Structure 1
Amino acid sequence: MNFTEQALKKPRALLLLGICFLAVVVVLGFFLKNSLISAEDTDVLGDFVVRRSDNATSFFTFVSSIFDPLGTIILSMLAAGIFWLVTRNWRYPGFIFGSVVASAAFTYALKFAFHRSRPPLLDHLVDETDFSFPSGHVTGTSALLFSLAVVLTLRASSRSVRILTWLAAALLVAAVAASRLYLGVHWFTDTAAGALVGTGTVAIMSAILFSQTKQIPAS
């Protein structure tokens, strides 16, 4: 039994972990709403801004455009459709699509609850008009890629394949987070909160969907 299977055998632990992640984000949101922008947020943003170049701008703009909130929903629909055609099992597509949609809904609720302003317009390389906390790009990417990683590694026989799958997912999430900082449209705490929301939602959805039966769905 691999790590993913072992984790899915403990739905209560996954549920608690997911709730804790979301609770941390809510607490962080209240803290940020009632305080000035932290010095760390300003410093991190400044580090990205001073390192801008034409090639880096093209790369991070592309990354950000692929994994925007609408893009992640569309990608989750495509992934869900593929897994339905391959497995004929509703849990895989429901898990992937449900994770992305649920995380997006929670993210927008937090945005309107906390009304956190984005970095100064002078730093923006792309247009963004909604609130800043948490990052919808990072939330959606985390939910999409980590839910895919769960499904893809669930029956993977090779340990190296499982490790590479999770590593690739984590690196892509980090790249999207970096793109939002580089483009000057988010603070570091926005991206960190987005990663927590996406990961927490995947944990909760895992607990709900994969605990309905004692047997993990066959691939």
Structure 2
Amino acid sequence: MLQKLRTAITCEYRLLLGAIGTLLLLWGFGALAGEMIEGETGAYDSKIELALRHSDNLAVPVGPAFLKTAMIDLTALGSETILTLVTVLAIAFLLLRKRQNQALLVAAAVGGGALLSGLLKSQFSRARPEIVPHLVPVHSASFPSGHAMNSAIVYLTIAVLIARSYEDARTRNFIVGLAVIATGVIGFSRVYLGVHWPSDVAAGWLVGGAWASLMGLVAVTLQRRRKIEQPARPSSDTEQARP
């Protein structure tokens, strides 16, 4: 009984922290969007973009030659094709493990996130940066970064669901940490390649992280509900005592 009480308290504590974290991320996105609309982010955005290019030739990014190729390869991890493939593989894996609810949650999270990304881009309609030449082709609006937002949604949501299968805190932190690093690298690559302002990427991280956090809260809530609705199994002593 005491162990169940401790588990319930821990679960409530995690739900509270998750809700607070989600609200803080949404608040950060709203504040950043307001600054962007008022033009307050322009100076910082331009300074960072120019710092990543050679001053005598803005078409050449800083760093060794292989870094440009590496960034082009890494930015593809946040493309629609790769994210769709990762999502399909994750759903197939969860279905194979007979985790239909988690598979449905991943599908809803990714599909809903893609719709949200499109709505936000059309709402703000920010132009792509033209201060430096683009090193990869782009076509949609700039704010927020779809690569940063959708990679956060896909990789973080999947990582959180997988991490919940492990009791060891170090293992859970390692899995989620890999997703965070992947999302961070993808976002940086968009700025390095000159196709997004830094504030676009930051906004994508914030709203994508908030969405993934919200999906995590939904997963915890559904899991708790299933445990409550699941009838308690009789103990072995009770079963032996039956005639």
TM-score interval for Structure 1 and Structure 2 normalised by the shorter chain: 0.7 to 0.9
- Rounded to whole Å, the distance in 2 between the matches of 1:8 and 1:106 is 28
Report the Cα offset of residue 75 of structure 1.
1.4
Partner of 1:147: 157
Alignment of 1:124-139 (within 5 A): 124-139=134-149
Choose from 26, 32, 41 the match for 2:30: 26
Partner of 1:107: 117
> For the pair shown, which has the larger CA radius of gyration, 1 or 2?
2
**Aligned match of 1:93:** 103
Q: How does 1:38-77 map to 2 (within 5 A)?
A: 38-50=42-54, 51-77=62-88
Aligned AA for 1:62?
Answer: D
Q: Does structure 2 conserve the Cα–Cα contact (< 8 Å) formed by 1:15 and 1:204?
A: yes
Which residues of structure 1 form unaligned runs of 5+? none
CA distance in 2, matches of 1:159, 1:212: 22
The 1:120–1:53 alpha-carbon spacing in structure 2 relative to 1, beyond 3 Å, is: farther
The Cα offsets for residues 28-70 of structure 1, whole Å up to 9 and x where unpaired, read as 2233123265211111112222315431111111111232134
Alpha-carbon distance between aligned partners in 1 of 2:15 and 2:128, rounded to the nearest angstrom: 36
Q: Give the deviation of 1:130 after TM superposition.
A: 1.1
1:17 aligns with 2:28: no
**d(CA) in 2 for partners of 1:95, 1:21:** 21
CA distance in 2, matches of 1:8, 1:128: 44
Contact (CA 8 Å) 1:103, 1:201: kept in 2 or not?
yes
Contact 2:25/2:210, CA 8 A, preserved across alignment: yes
**Higher relative contact order structure (alpha carbons within 8 Å, sequence separation ≥ 6):** 1
Tell me, in whole angstroms, the C-alpha distance in 2 between the residues paired with 1:98 and 1:159.
27
Identical-pair percentage: 21
Residue number among 67, 79, 82 corresponding to 2:93 in the alignment? 82
Count how many residue pairs are aligned between Structure 1 and Structure 2: 213
Is the CA contact 1:49–1:184 (under 8 Å) kept in the aligned structure 2?
no
* Displacement after TM superposition at 1:181 (Å): 0.8
* In structure 1, C-alpha distance between the alignment counterparts of 2:86 and 2:119, rounded to whole Å: 22
Quick check: 2:117–2:150 contact (8 Å CA) kept in 1? no
Q: What value does the CA root-mean-square deviation take over the aligned residues?
A: 2.6
* In 2: Cα distance, 1:8 partner to 1:151 partner: 18
Change (3 A) 1:19 1:97: farther
Residue 17 of structure 1: how far off its partner (Å): 3.4
Normalising by structure 2, what TM-score? 0.77
Gaps of 5+ in 2: 4-8, 55-61, 228-243
Contact 1:67–1:176 (8 Å) recurs in 2: yes
